[in-house]
């Protein structure tokens, strides 16, 4: 099939097929005014599926050719008579009208319309089918055709068409895809990072819930012991009187732990904390004491724990501990420099002050908080 760019470039070729208005209805039904002969600019734009401005711009560029094929602008009495015949009630002082031949002319000039390209294709196919086929002719006929010039023109038309397609369609599409791919890549990286954070959070919460929601007292104590060992402590379950776990912290301090698995609505009262603090101090001479529960503490119990150096671990702190946080009381403490070490500042007095184990062993090591306490 002949390239439709030939119709776009050659007015002579357009004139040769200007009467084949049946091509319009072969592609798409063309609606006309009640007079059955004419259409308006808006109707032409709707037929070719383009904007009205595109049709108006085409009229400005090819007005003389379109007028040769029936394009007219009505005004005055002629417009009034036309409105009466077609039932047009607009108050415009002028009206552009197109005949079917003019609409076909527009189809051969409008570049950026799929419907116009289909009309041109039909015209060219019909022209090719109607062209006489060559037959053997014993009489030699010489036709003087400059084949070189024809090839050159065809090549130029093809190059111009390719340039238009690349410039208007392919290049913008590629630029859009490049930008979109970069944005999608950044978006995918962000989504992947969000998923990793969610997975880590779910793993931490799953482990935390497993400790806090142990099915029995012994299982709960074993899991608390596992947390202590994770943080470098050496503990055993043979706690003795008033304690469930005893052992040493990572830096060698004596450690005692009380484990109480309670329902969420129940709270640890001050009497239980007082008994544990007394046992930790007198029986075990503990230097680090933890009261761990699956519920919470009453405000008086928290105050009592703070005064006696007991770290009160309620459910929220227990979940944080299970998720990887290390309680302050279990962290390694820096070793203080000896007063008589080389380079140490002299200490006034007869020597270092002595402190009884009962008064210093349970010094508070972390802030005890309670979700229910204001």
Q: Mean pLDDT in each 10-residue stretch from start to end of the chain (374 residues)? A: 73 87 88 88 92 92 92 91 84 90 91 89 81 55 62 73 73 77 80 78 56 73 93 83 89 94 90 93 92 94 94 93 91 71 48 38 41 43
pLDDT at 134: 58
User: Ramachandran region of residue 19, left (φ > 0), alpha (ψ -120 to 50) or beta?
Assistant: alpha
Q: How many residues does the chain have?
A: 374
pLDDT at 150: 72
The phi, psi pair for 319, rounded to 5°, reads -65, -40
Spatial contact of 113 and 49, defined as CB atoms under 8 Å apart: yes
The phi, psi pair for 367, rounded to 5°, reads -75, 130
pLDDT at 336: 65
pLDDT at 239: 62
The phi, psi pair for 3, rounded to 5°, reads -65, 130
């Amino acid at each position: 099939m002949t390239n439709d760019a030939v119709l776009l470039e050659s007015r002579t070729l357009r004139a040769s097929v200007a009467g084949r208005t049946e091509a319009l209805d072969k592609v798409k039904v063309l609606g006309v005014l009640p007079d059955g002969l004419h259409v308006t600019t808006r109707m032409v734009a709707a037929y070719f599926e383009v904007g009205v401005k595109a049709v108006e711009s085409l009229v400005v560029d090819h007005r003389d050719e379109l007028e040769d094929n029936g394009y007219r602008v009505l005004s005055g009495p002629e417009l009034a008579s036309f409105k009466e015949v077609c039932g047009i009630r607009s108050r415009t002082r002028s009206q552009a009208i197109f005949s079917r031949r003019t609409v076909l002319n527009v189809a051969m000039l409008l570049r950026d319309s799929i419907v116009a390209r289909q009309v041109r294709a039909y015209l060219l196919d019909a022209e090719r089918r109607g062209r006489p086929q060559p037959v053997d002719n014993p009489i030699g006929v010489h036709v003087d055709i400059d084949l070189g010039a024809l090839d050159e023109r065809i090549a130029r038309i093809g190059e111009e068409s390719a340039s238009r397609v690349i410039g208007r369609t392919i290049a913008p599409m590629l630029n859009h895809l490049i930008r979109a791919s970069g944005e999608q890549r950044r978006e995918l990286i962000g989504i992947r990072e969000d998923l990793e954070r969610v997975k880590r959070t779910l793993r931490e919460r799953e482990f935390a819930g497993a400790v806090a929601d142990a099915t029995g007292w012994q299982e709960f104590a074993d899991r608390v012991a596992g947390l202590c060992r994770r943080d470098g402590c050496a503990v055993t379950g043979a706690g003795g009187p008033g304690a469930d776990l005893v052992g040493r912290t990572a830096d060698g301090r004596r450690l005692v732990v009380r484990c109480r698995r309670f329902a969420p609505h129940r709270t640890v009262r001050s009497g239980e904390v007082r008994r544990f603090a007394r046992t930790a101090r007198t029986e075990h001479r503990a230097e680090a004491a933890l009261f761990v529960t699956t519920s919470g503490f009453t405000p008086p119990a928290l105050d009592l724990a703070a005064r006696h150096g007991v770290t009160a671990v309620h459910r929220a702190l227990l979940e944080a501990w299970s998720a990887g946080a290390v309680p302050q009381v279990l962290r390694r403490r820096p070793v203080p420099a000896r007063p008589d070490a080389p380079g140490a500042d002299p200490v006034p007095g007869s020597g270092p002050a002595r402190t009884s184990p009962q008064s210093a062993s349970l010094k508070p090591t972390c802030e005890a908080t309670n979700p229910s306490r204001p």
